Amino acid sequence: MELKKVDPRLLKEDPLNPRRSPAAPAYEEQLLANIQAVGLIQLPLCKEREGEFFIVAGHRRVQACIRAGFSEIEALFTDSDTRTNAMRSVAENVVRTGLNTVDTWRAIVSLTGADWTEDAIATALNLPTRTIQRLRQCGKMHPAMLEQMALNDEPNARELRLIASASIEDQAEVWKKHKPKRGEHAQWYAIAQALDNRRYYARDAKFDPELAKAHGIVWLEDLFDQGDQDNRYTTQTEEFLGAQYEHMANTLPKKGIILTVDKQGTPQLPHKKAERIYHGAKKSDLTGSYINESTGKIEVITYRMPVEVKPAKPAAGKAGITAGATATAAAVAAPSAEPAPSRAPITQAGMAMIGDMRTDALHEGLANDAIDDLTLIGLLVMAFCGNNVDVKTGTSDEKLRTKGRPAIARAIAAGGTLTADPETLRQAARDCLRFGLNLRDSYSAKTGPLALVAATAINADRHLPNMATEEFLSCLSKAEIENVGRQHKIQPRNTGKETRGAILKELAGQHYVHPAANFTVTPEDAKAIDAPRHYEIYGQTEDDSIESVAGEGDDNAEILRSIGHTGQDPEPDADDAGQDSVAA
């Protein structure tokens, strides 16, 4: 190894550099500031080849020295073989500023080609062998997905395993359907779910062969399963679940109902005070059926509704009040008298598509339509009052620090001064609204009814896409697709598929929007907007309503009265000001 002084501009980047994606700008600025303050301490490692100097390790340091204006730096030159230099380069990058998943995978592939084993790579980089094996799954990924992951938008370990286990052809087809727009993150969960080749077995099916034929279910034989049971299975998840649901609806017991399930697959009881019974069921107890989507089985649970409270004998003058209380208690205690709910008109996948379409239409309207300044300010305030906004200071999250709101803030506050350019402010407001408002079908990211108010204010309905497509209409139940047909004077066919085909033929060349996708603020939405929010902090529930804040003490009540609930400081009355002066 030899120490030389060279011009950093003469050092060429190694074509085998494992870092293909640049590090975060904040890290580059930090490295530049350190080199400008104390100089270059850790010397870059280089190699001379055919009269030219190539960097083995230290690419970012060399670029920082060039930006700092250094005309000459010291560098170490090595004569070691390519196999050792490749590992040095990868180790340098892993230690200094970590590589993203795709760059790490490419580096491991390069090391494997240089006769490094998985165990040797894991030992040299201080990584578990399992991590090396997981990273090599990237080799089974669709190239377009790898490009998205190189932008620091990566799936989690489970999603990566599901995607990598599918064929490249299936990945390409799903990616075409779920490809994100420029600057947006991919919906890896939806992509993984679409590629999850879940098996549903015939032994768990309750429906008969005729119903299976009506839903177009084709059974395959698993020759590697146990031989003493029915090993037929299908990967047609939607068809299987649809047949199970139809059988379940047709065979409900007298007091049975169909229960809905949440995103975790947990059944939801019909009343918040209903009690699930595990042992010691009574004749008066009710039953609820639901489908376990992980296994495809129809599960039945027993639950008990709250007991009706018998009112005491009414006193004189209170008969009307007691009668009202009795009617209320009876209504709560006997929801089983209501008819059993039928299948939801639109599946969860259909609601997710509606959420995506509405969000895209809202964003398009926010980006391009004319919006007056007062409306823009009001929308901006609502965007940052949404349920999905989470502002944290001093975060170490790289994506949050380098993208999103910080980029918008830099555009209007360059140099520490708020810009006075109206167009820049309007564009920043539009970007901020698009960042904060959305209607996607996600519990953690959905803004809530405030986004509907925003969409209604700017008439975003005109940006909704045509929903007369096979992809969306296939998400409607048979009853709902027949309802859509009747709206367009189309008689129901023998199957939902035939009815759907007739609707597509009738609506060809037209722009159709399902009523559920329209931006309409319902009374329930308005009630949700007016209702106070509740927060649980350290085991205590906090309420952000005016009454709860005013009730905390005289100081808070005085503040709320003084501002008149407008958020503006009141101007002091002249007489009060004079009295304060005298008192002082």
Segment 458-487, tens digit of pLDDT = 888 889 999 999 888 888 888 888 888 888
Please tell me the predicted confidence (pLDDT) of residue 540.
Answer: 45
- Say whether pLDDT at 402 is over 70: no
For the chain, report the end-to-end CA distance as a whole number of angstroms: 80
- Say whether pLDDT at 167 is over 60: yes
- Say whether pLDDT at 260 is over 60: yes
Please tell me the predicted confidence (pLDDT) of residue 375.
Answer: 74
Confidence of residue 25 (pLDDT cuts 50, 70, 90): confident
Confidence of residue 206 (pLDDT cuts 50, 70, 90): very high
Q: Is the dihedral of CA 466, 469, 475, 479 positive or negative?
A: positive
Least confident of 103-107, 367-371, 541-545: 541-545
Average pLDDT over every residue of 9-16: 78
- Say whether pLDDT at 563 is over 50: no
Please tell me the predicted confidence (pLDDT) of residue 400.
Answer: 35
3-state secondary structure of 144: helix
Confidence of residue 97 (pLDDT cuts 50, 70, 90): low
**From CA 163, how far away is CA 194, in angstroms rounded?**
9
Which of 113, 104, 24, 39 is CA-nearest to residue 69? 39
Quote the tokens at residue 479.
């009853």
CA 436 → CA 368, 391, 410, distances in Å?
Answer: 17, 11, 17
**From CA 12, how far away is CA 338, in angstroms rounded?**
77
Which of 452, 457, 454, 470 is CA-nearest to residue 518? 452
- Say whether pLDDT at 570 is over 60: no
CA 415 → CA 27, 393, 410, distances in Å?
Answer: 20, 20, 8
Q: How many CB atoms within 10 Å of residue 102?
A: 22
- Say whether pLDDT at 543 is over 80: no
Phi first, then psi, for residue 191 (nearest 5°) are -65, -45
CB-CB contact of 396 with 494 (8 Å): no
Higher-confidence residue of 333 and 386: namely: 386
Average pLDDT over every residue of 11-24: 72
Phi first, then psi, for residue 82 (nearest 5°) are -65, -35
Q: How many CB atoms within 10 Å of residue 325?
A: 14
Highest mean pLDDT among 397-406, 445-454, 531-540, 575-584: 445-454
Phi first, then psi, for residue 12 (nearest 5°) are -95, 150
- Say whether pLDDT at 513 is over 70: yes
pLDDT in tens, 45-82: 888 877 788 888 888 888 889 888 888 888 888 876 66
Phi first, then psi, for residue 568 (nearest 5°) are -115, 145
CB-CB contact of 231 with 329 (8 Å): no
Quote the tokens at residue 18.
């494992």
CB-CB contact of 490 with 502 (8 Å): yes
Listed in order, strand segments (DSSP E) in 403-562 are 534-537, 540-543
Average pLDDT over every residue of 258-279: 84
DSSP character at residue 421: -
Strand order in the sheet with 73-77: 2-6, 73-77, 45-49, 52-57, 11-12
Please tell me the predicted confidence (pLDDT) of residue 566.
Answer: 42
Confidence of residue 221 (pLDDT cuts 50, 70, 90): confident
Please tell me the predicted confidence (pLDDT) of residue 555.
Answer: 47
Which of 453, 448, 452, 449 is CA-nearest to residue 387? 448
Highest mean pLDDT among 3-17, 341-355, 465-479: 465-479
Please tell me the predicted confidence (pLDDT) of residue 358.
Answer: 87
**From CA 456, how far away is CA 465, in angstroms rounded?**
16
Considering the entire predicted model, what is its pTM?
Answer: 0.34
Architecture of domain 2-140: Alpha-Beta Complex (3.90)
Q: List where CATH 3.90.1530.10 sits in the chain.
A: 2-140
Quote the tokens at residue 87.
């590992």
Average pLDDT for the chain: 75
Please tell me the predicted confidence (pLDDT) of residue 405.
Answer: 67
pLDDT in tens, 285-316: 889 999 988 888 999 999 888 876 666 555 55
Please tell me the predicted confidence (pLDDT) of residue 396.
Answer: 40
